[in-house]
Structure 1
Amino acid sequence: MELLEGKMHGKSSPESVSTKLQKVADLAKQAPEMVFTTLAHHIDLVFLKEAFHLTRKDAASGVDQQTAAEYEEQLDRNLTSLLDRFKSGTYKAPPVKRAYIPKTNGAARPIGIPTIEDKVLQRAVTMVLGAVYEQDFLSCSYGFRPGRGSVHGGGVNSEVVQAGGEPPARTEWARWPSGQLAVR
């Protein structure tokens, strides 16, 4: 395998992103008691490209005012720089831009808008963590899951409770040691 991967920093293995995520998911499913102490090594340049392509391009820009289109003009260079900073531990998320959305009652709802680069890294980390934690959810759990939402699950949970059962408990986050995102 070393011959295929080479020794260049940031290069991807021959595996596709979905294959990597499936391997992580399979491991999490096979060993639910296992504590993952490092997952950052799964994120490489190909992984960041996939995360970029999955990130909304029409969203507002963050404090740096850089649009997704501008970031994409030098995508390989930008993602290589991001990967190097992430892997070396020198990446620091920039401040989040504060904006306010008017509500119907006249008040304003504050929102935070990260930079495009931070959105990409957040997406990549979410993809890896999602592969781990998705295995812990019951089939009747719906909130904040890919392809599912609380709108879809309301009836299912009501049926469980009406049948005398307990609603699904929240997933315990003990599988990830607090503050440990080790980088290989």
Structure 2
Amino acid sequence: MHDTEKSDSGIVAEKPTNKAGLLAAEWAEPRPGTKGNAEQQRMHRTQGRARMTQSLDRVRTAARLRKKDRFTALFHHINVDTLRAAFFALRRKAAPGVDGMTWEDYEEDLEPRLADLHKRVQRGAYRPQPSRRTYIPKADGKQRPLAIAALEDKIVQGANRHRAQRHLRRRLLWLFLRFRPGRGPHDALDALCTAIETRNVNWIIDADIQNFFGAVSQPWLVRFLEHRIGDKRIIRLIQKWLKAGVFSKTAS
């Protein structure tokens, strides 16, 4: 049984993970013609960013001092500030999900929408919508299925993802380059070239797991998350997304 303690950040830990950092995504300026007071929006974002930075700094300090802790009080960090940051980190022209909501439409009444979303998340009334299924062509002529989440689901997922990255980033090896902030294919090629030049390499294996995201065991995925995340509310939120499913529009 691990000893637990509560820090100034409100985190009850058994043994932490990560070095937290600032959000990678920049906050965008409001587009011209946006309804509402643009100056007030900028003030909200500036104040929110300052509060969020202070919160992340406290989490980073706790994670650095207790590197093996499980964080058991993370849910309260999903607040209006982190939701706002996640919204402005979204691609403006991304395709809408099943809700049909675009980034521009949501921005028109942003603060009331975020406040309502935050209340629903905190009291457990938030329900993810199914993702919209679409397909993109692959180089071999086949099609790759994509799931496009509803806009509010993207916002809540983004707020949760940024928080989790602060804890888990130091647990990931440097060579895990896919889907990492600030990493990409060129970083992978650089790492490969360095390995070939500096080590005795005899084999290079290219492997892919067929339909990984469709075949991965959800119970095992949750069990792995529970190694570092002890907040049951965060786990339940992730389970809601896993169970939301996809909506495929059939041709009539």
The alignment's TM-score, normalised by the length of structure 2, stands at: 0.57
- The alignment partner of 2:234 has SS state of coil
- The alignment partner of 1:89 has SS state of coil
Equivalence for 2:138: 103
Q: How many angstroms does 1:98 deviate by? A: 0.7
- Counterparts in 2 of 1:88 and 1:70: CA distance versus 1, 3 Å: same
- Please tell me whether residue 129 in structure 1 is matched to residue 170 in structure 2: no
Equivalence for 2:79: 44
Give 2:60's match in structure 1, choosing from 25, 32, 36. Answer: 25
- The alignment partner of 1:47 has SS state of helix
- Counterparts in 2 of 1:63 and 1:22: CA distance versus 1, 3 Å: same
Give 1:143's match in structure 2, choosing from 131, 154, 178. Answer: 178
Equivalence for 1:56: 91
- Please tell me whether residue 117 in structure 1 is matched to residue 170 in structure 2: no
Q: How many angstroms does 1:71 deviate by? A: 0.7
The amino acid of 2:89's aligned partner reads L
Identify unmatched segments of 5+ residues in structure 1. 1-11, 165-171
- Root-mean-square deviation (CA, aligned residues, Å) is 3.0
Which stretch shows the higher mean deviation, 172-181 or 25-34? 172-181
Equivalence for 2:128: 93
Q: How many angstroms does 1:82 deviate by? A: 0.9
Identify unmatched segments of 5+ residues in structure 2. 1-46, 201-223, 237-252
Q: State the number of aligned residues.
A: 167
**Greater relative contact order (Cα < 8 A, sep 6+):** 1
Q: How many angstroms does 1:153 deviate by? A: 3.8
Q: How many angstroms does 1:22 deviate by? A: 2.6
Deviation readout 1:127-153 (Å, 9 max, x if unpaired): 100110012234454333211235414
- Counterparts in 2 of 1:51 and 1:154: CA distance versus 1, 3 Å: same
Equivalent positions of 1:71-90 (< 5 A) are 71-90=106-125
